[in-house]
Structure 1
C-alpha cells in the first residue's frame, strides 16, 4: 500500500522537524514538504499535492485559516488537519468553516497525532477532546427560533453531533443501534436540507445556524 503523503505548514522550525521525524517514523507515512509559511505552501502545493495537509493557525503573514479558505475551493478533496495551541471557539469554528476536516491541539501525543492523520485520510474528522466538547456543546446551547435555518430532526442532529465528534459511519450505526444504510439515508437527507455535499460542510453549516 502506498504510504500516506503529508505536507506540514508550521513556522516553528524545531517543531516542524519534530513532526517530520514523527511521521517519517511511521511505516505508512511519508512527508512531502514542510513549509514555514502559508505563502510558501500556496506556491508549491499545486505541483506537489499531499494526501493530508497539516496546518498551524498562527503563521507569519497569511494565517492558517486564510490558507485553508484559499485552498479548499480549488482542492475540495484535500483533507486538512489543523494542529495548533489555540482552542478559542472562534478560531475553531473559523477553521472548520474554512474547510478544515480536523482540529488537534499541539499537546496531543505523537501516537494520537498519527492516528488522527490516518483517520482524516479515511474520511474522519478527528478533534482533541476539549475541541470536540466545544463543538458538541454548540448543539446543546439554547437557541432562538430561526425560520430561515435548516430544520433537522432530533435524530439528524444526533448524527451530526457524532460526526462532529469524529465518528465514522459504522461507529454511528453501532452507537445508535441502526443499520449503515439507515445512517446513509439520514445523511442524504441532512445534506439535502443543508444544501451541502460533505460531512464537514454539514457540521459547520448547522453549527453556524445554532451560534
Structure 2
C-alpha cells in the first residue's frame, strides 16, 4: 500500500503541459471541450474519441495525464473504462463529465478511480477550473454532486461510530491543519497559501497523511477524515 501511495504522489508534475484525452460521443461537446482546453497554454489535448473501444492503448502510448470521460459514451461500461484506465495508467487523473446524477454511478465512479465529477450542464463554465484543480491536487465536483457525496458519507457514518473513537492515527499538528484544509475542499496551492508553507511542503504532508490513514485516493482520504472525526 505504502509504495502505491508514494507512486501516486510522485505522478503529480506541474512543470510540463497537461496531456489531456477526451471520451465523448457528442461531436459538438467534444469540439467545445477541445477549443476550451486548448485556449490554456498549459493544456494540450492529445486525443479525442467518441468511445473507449480500442482507445486505451493509444493513451498509454502518448503518456496521457488526464482523461475526461462521459461514462455514458463508452463502447462498454463507463465504470469499467475508468477501472481499465487506472489499471493501464495508474497515474492518470480521470474527470467524469456527464448528465447523470444517480448516487450509484457517482459512488461507483469514485471507487473505480475517478478524481472529479462534473455535470455537462456546467462544462462550459467549469471545465478549465476543474482541470486546473485536478492539476493542483484537488478533486472537483459540481455542487449537486458534492452534496450527494456528503449525503452518502453521512448515511454511512453510523457504521464507523463503534470504532472511530479508539483509533489514533498519530497525525502531527501541522498534518491536521493540512488535512483540515483538504477536507474543506482546498487544493494544494490554496492550502499552501492559507498555512504559509510551500507547495512542496503541502505535498509532503499529504503523502505522510495518506500513509498514516492507510488511504490511496483523495476521495478516500476526505471520506475517512469525516467518518472518523479526524479533524
TM-score, normalised with respect to structure 1: 0.76
User: Do 1:136 and 1:161's aligned partners in 2 also have CA atoms closer than 8 Å?
Assistant: no
Give the 5 Å matches for 1:37-186.
Answer: 37-141=51-155, 143-145=158-160, 151=167, 163=182, 166-169=185-188, 171=190
Shift of 1:13: 1.8
Aligned residues: 206
Larger % of helix: which?
A: 2
Q: What are the ranges of 5 or more consecutive residues in structure 1 without an aligned counterpart?
A: none
Distance 1:95 1:204, change over 3 A: farther
List per-residue Cα deviations over 1:77-125 (Å, max 9, x = no partner): 1111111111111111111111111110011152421111111112111
User: Do 2:24 and 2:74's aligned partners in 1 also have CA atoms closer than 8 Å?
Assistant: no
Structure-1 separation of matches of 2:118 and 2:125: 13
Shift of 1:41: 2.2
Deviates most, 21-30 or 134-143 = 134-143
Residue 204 (structure 2) pairs with residue 198 (structure 1):
no
Q: What are the ranges of 5 or more consecutive residues in structure 2 without an aligned counterpart?
A: 1-14
User: Do 1:172 and 1:183's aligned partners in 2 also have CA atoms closer than 8 Å?
Assistant: no
Structure-2 separation of matches of 1:40 and 1:202: 33
Q: CA RMSD in A?
A: 3.6
Deviates most, 165-174 or 119-128 = 165-174
SS in 2 for 1:5: strand
